[in-house]
Amino acid sequence: MSQPLVGVVMGSKTDAEIMQSAIDVLTAMGIEHEVSIISAHRTPDKAKQYAQTARERGIEVIIAGAGMAAHLPGVLASWTTLPVIGVPMASGELKGVDALYSIVQMPAGIPVACMAIGSAGAKNAAYLAAEILGLKHEKIRRAYEKYRSELQGT
């Protein structure tokens, strides 16, 4: 097994079903990834350590799914200069609108890319990660371009 390039992080095990959509896309494109459950409010030290060590562990892009107040993507982004792609979970009473606003409304200075709510966002997070990684990794660029060209027939 090669070195993971994408770190998929979610705030709770209850996010796993939605985040599986991102994992499935990464797997289909042959992009090595690791999966972690880290809560920005329940395990803040773990969030800090994960983000601070991600680059030295070979991670190049972080995908972070979180629901409700959804501070995980922003907290991870605060501890690393790797790109962080946030996915708002469709959880809680507001069904992800809260998480969407939380993730998309990062104050100027620390960017977080924000995808759509739920599994569409999780899939797009993986495709965006492929686009970013494709700038450097020829094999990933080719896998992503193959996927895009197959869309022409749909």
Residues forming the site for ligand RP5 (CB under 6 A): 11-12, 14-15, 39, 66-68, 89, 91
DSSP the chain: -----EEEEESSGGGHHHHHHHHHHHHHTT--EEEEE--TTTSHHHHHHHHHHHTTTT--EEEEEE-TT--HHHHHHHT-SS-EEEEE---TTTTTHHHHHHHHTPPTTS--EE--STHHHHHHHHHHHHHHHHTT-HHHHHHHHHHHHHHTT-
Minimum distance from residue 91 beta carbon to ligand RP5 (Å)? 4
Minimum distance from residue 119 beta carbon to ligand RP5 (Å)? 13
When the beta carbons of 60 and 98 are compared against ligand RP5, the nearer one is: 98
Minimum distance from residue 113 beta carbon to ligand RP5 (Å)? 17
Minimum distance from residue 65 beta carbon to ligand RP5 (Å)? 7
Minimum distance from residue 137 beta carbon to ligand RP5 (Å)? 29
When the beta carbons of 5 and 102 are compared against ligand RP5, the nearer one is: 102
Residue with tokens 């809260």: 98
When the beta carbons of 20 and 39 are compared against ligand RP5, the nearer one is: 39
When the beta carbons of 123 and 140 are compared against ligand RP5, the nearer one is: 123
When the beta carbons of 4 and 67 are compared against ligand RP5, the nearer one is: 67
CA distances to 21, 71, 102 from 129, rounded to whole Å, are 13, 20, 21
